[in-house]
Chain A
Amino acid sequence: GQNIDQPTEMTATEGAIVQINCTYQTSGFNGLFWYQQHAGEAPTFLSYNVLDGLEEKGRFSSFLSRSKGYSYLLLKELQMKDSASYLCAVMDSNYQLIWGAGTKLIIKP
């Protein structure tokens, strides 16, 4: 079956760095997405990786290793507003998004 695994919850300190991991097993691969979702709101797009390596976008970076079925989202200089759930999603061979359960990130002052 298809499976996306990510930690349920993480806690980090304001100003610090946090890495959220995601491992996946899917039927085919057409890219991996990271979304941010604040409570009661719809997800917003953060990043897209289809080739191996690191994609950097401001304070957020996303890494992909297709051979290992592994990705991480790196958040630097954490701010209180970064408290949210972070969803990892993989697009399979049918171009359907397979969603992880999300990682709730709690930022402490």
Chain B
Amino acid sequence: GAVVSQHPSRVICKSGTSVKIECRSLDFQATTMFWYRQFPKQSLMLMATSNEGSKATYEQGVEKDKFLINHASLTLSTLTVTSAHPEDSSFYICSARGDWENNEQFFGPGTRLTVL
């Protein structure tokens, strides 16, 4: 299957700082990328959907000024958590979808964010 990488895999930061997470599709062009957040023992929660070259579409309740998403190319999307607080500590996962029939999404390995 297609490969999606995510960097960093783990980050610890102080409250008030900003953290950038990168999501890359390594062997395909990702027409759409998705950003999810998952709290312990809960299911995936979609935060936003981004298409290359256009603004991201945020889910209800997700602050677009706090979670900045940039989908600059067909292989790279970034999520920046601005002014992070302890309640932003979570597992952030990106997924990418190419131009294929079954609409399958391939997931990155995730980024564990801990805000002190």
A42 in contact with B93 (CB, 8 Å): yes
Task: Tell whether A33 is near chain B: CB-to-CB under 8 Å.
Answer: yes
B43 in contact with A95 (CB, 8 Å): no
Q: Cα distance A88–B116 when bound, in Å?
A: 33
B108 in contact with A42 (CB, 8 Å): yes
With contacts A33-B104, A41-B109, A48-B104 known, is A96 near B43, CB below 8 A?
A: no
A100 in contact with B105 (CB, 8 Å): no
Q: What's the nearest-Cβ distance from chain B to residue A73, in Å?
A: 16
State the interface size on chain B (CB cutoff 8 A). 20
Q: Cα distance A67–B92 when bound, in Å?
A: 35
Task: Closest A residue to B106 by CB, please name it.
Answer: A45
B104 in contact with A96 (CB, 8 Å): no
Contact flags B86-98 to A (C-beta < 8 A → 1, else 0) = 0000010100000
Q: Would you list which residues of chain B between 17 and 70 have a CB under 8 Å from chain A?
A: 34, 42-46, 49
Which range contains the number of A residues in contact with the other chain? Answer: 20 to 34
Q: What's the nearest-Cβ distance from chain B to residue A54, in Å?
A: 17
Task: Closest A residue to B101 by CB, please name it.
Answer: A50
Q: Cα distance A48–B66 when bound, in Å?
A: 34
B44 in contact with A45 (CB, 8 Å): no
Q: Cα distance A14–B29 when bound, in Å?
A: 40
Q: Which residues of B contact A41 (CB under 8 A)?
A: 109-110
Task: Tell whether A7 is near chain B: CB-to-CB under 8 Å.
Answer: no
Task: Closest A residue to B41 by CB, please name it.
Answer: A104
A99 in contact with B43 (CB, 8 Å): yes
B107 in contact with A43 (CB, 8 Å): yes
With contacts A31-B102, A45-B1, A50-B102 known, is A100 near B107, CB below 8 A?
A: no
With contacts A41-B110, A42-B93, A102-B43 known, is A95 near B1, CB below 8 A?
A: no
Interface residues of A (CB under 8 A from B): 30-31, 33, 40-45, 48, 50, 87, 91, 95-97, 99-102
Interface residues of B (CB under 8 A from A): 1, 34, 42-46, 49, 91, 93, 102-110, 112
